[in-house]
Amino acid sequence: MTESMRAALYDRYGPPEVIYEGRRPIPERGEGRILVRVLASSVNGGDLSGREGSLGWLGALALGPFPKAVGLDFVGDVVEAEANVYGPAVGDRVWGVLPRAFGSMAEYVSVPVDCLVRVPEGLDPVHAAALPVVTTAITALRDKARLRPGERLLVRGATGGVGVGGVQLGKAYGGHVTALAREENLELARELGADRAFDYRTTSPADLGSFDVVLDTVGTDLPAYRRLLAPGGRMVTISFDLTRPWRSLGYIVGSTVFGPRRVRFFSGNPRRELFEELNALVEAGHLRPVVDRVYSLSEVAGAHRALESGGVRGKIIVDTST
Ligand SMILES: NC(=O)c1ccc[n+]([C@@H]2O[C@H](COP(=O)([O-])OP(=O)(O)OC[C@H]3O[C@@H](n4cnc5c(N)ncnc54)[C@H](OP(=O)(O)O)[C@@H]3O)[C@@H](O)[C@H]2O)c1
C-alpha cells in the first residue's frame, strides 16, 4: 500500500472549479473503525454548500482545515477491520455515510463500524452509491411524518436524490403519491410509482389538492405548501431557502407554536439500523437506486457543476476507481 492516496480537495471556498485532484495521506484505520478502499461516492447538496463556504462554523468544523476534502458517502471494499468485533470483514463490499465529516471522494476512508453496512447482493458500486441519501427519505416518511397506508403524500423535488426515494417509499408505505418535478422528469416520477405527477414550474400549489403528508426537499415557499395540509396533516422539510436561511428557520420554529400543522426539519446523521432498513427495502424490490451520470475522481468539479445546473435525475456519482 502506498503512503498517500488520490483525493478531491480544495484550497479555498468558491465555485466548482476550486476542486482539484490532489494527494493526502491514507488514513489510519483507528480503534473501532474500518478502513475502506472507496469505489464510488455521490455528490450531495451538503458538498456544494461546504465548498461554497455557506455551512457556517459548524460546517467549518466538519470540513476541517484547508485543503478541505469532499464527499459524505461511499461504497467500497473493506481492507482492514478489527478482529472479533461485529461488523463487515476484510473483502466485504460496504456502503455508508461519514459521521458529520467530509472526505469520501478519495481512495480510502476510515469509518466507525456503525456507519456502514454490506451492499445488497447484485448491486454494482455505482448504483449502491445512490442509496445513502435515501436514508433521509426513510427518516422523513417513517419517523417524522409517520406516513400511514392510504394517506395522500406530496413529494416536492420528486426526481432529486432524496425525492426518488421519497416517491418509492411513499408507495411502499401504502401512500397515494403526488410528485412535483420538472416537465422532462415527470415520466421518471411515474415510473418510480407516483400516482400523479406535475411540473412545479407551471403548477400552482393551490391546484394540487390537499395532503396528509408533504415531503419537501426544496426549502422555499413553505407557507404555500403547508396550506395544503388536511387536518392532522404533517409536513417535513429537509432543506432551507439558502437565500434567506434565518427566515426559513424562523418559519419552521414558528410553526411549532402557531397553527395546528407543524413543519418539521431534521438534519440526518444516519447509522447502521437505518442502512439495514434501506437494504431490506432494496432486497424486497421496493426501492431501486437511480443514477444520472458518472464522473471520475479527476472530474469532481464537473460533477458539482452538474448538480448545481439542476434537472438531475436521481444521483450524480463519482467513480473513485477511475
Ligand atoms: N436535512 C437533511 O438531513 C438532508 C439530507 C439530505 C439532503 N438534504 C438537502 O435536501 C435538499 C435536497 O437534496 P437532494 O439530494 O434531493 O437534492 P437534489 O438531488 O438537488 O434534488 C433537488 C430537487 O428539487 C427540485 N426543485 C428545485 N426547485 C424546485 C421547486 N421550486 N419546486 C419543486 N422542485 C424543485 C429539483 O428539480 P430540478 O432540478 O429537476 O428542476 C431537484 O429534483 C438539498 O438541499 C440537500 O442539501 C438535507
What digits encode the pLDDT tens for the residues 192-223? 999 999 999 999 999 999 999 999 999 999 99
For residue 44, what pLDDT is reported?
97
Confidence check: pLDDT of 2 > 70: no
Q: Tell me which H or E stretch contains 51.
A: helix 45-52
* Dihedral sign of CA atoms 31, 34, 38, 40 in order: negative
Residue 279 lies in a domain: no
315 lies in the same domain as 199: no
154 lies in the same domain as 226: yes
For atom 48 of ligand 1, the residue with the nearest CA is: 238
pLDDT digits (tens, 9 = 90+) for 96-134: 999 989 999 999 999 999 999 999 999 999 999 999 999
Q: Kindly give the number of the ligand 1 atom that is closest to the alpha carbon of 315.
A: 19
103 lies in the same domain as 138: no
198 lies in the same domain as 85: no
C-alpha 49 to ligand 1 mean position (Å) = 13
Q: Which of 39, 47, 60 is nearest to 16 (CA)?
A: 47
Confidence tier at 254 by pLDDT (50, 70, 90): confident
Does the CB atom of residue 270 touch ligand 1 within 6 A?
A: no
CATH number of the domain that residue 297 is part of: 3.90.180.10
C-alpha 310 to ligand 1 mean position (Å) = 9
Does the CB atom of residue 97 touch ligand 1 within 6 A?
A: no
* % residues pLDDT > 90 (the chain): 84
Does the CB atom of residue 157 touch ligand 1 within 6 A?
A: yes
120 lies in the same domain as 229: no
Residue 247 lies in a domain: yes
DSSP secondary structure letter of residue 44:
-
Does the CB atom of residue 239 touch ligand 1 within 6 A?
A: yes
For atom 26 of ligand 1, the residue with the nearest CA is: 157
Give the range of the structural domain holding residue 247, as residue numbers without chain letter.
Answer: 133-265
**Within the chain, what is the greatest distance between any pair of CA atoms?**
61
State how far the Cα of 50 lies from the Cα of 280, in Å rounded to an integer: 32
Q: Which of 117, 290, 80, 86 is nearest to 187 (CA)?
A: 290
147 lies in the same domain as 76: no
More confident residue, 205 or 87: 205
Confidence check: pLDDT of 154 > 80: yes
To the nearest whole number, what is the mean pLDDT of the chain?
94
Confidence check: pLDDT of 280 > 60: yes
Confidence tier at 316 by pLDDT (50, 70, 90): very high
Confidence check: pLDDT of 271 > 90: yes
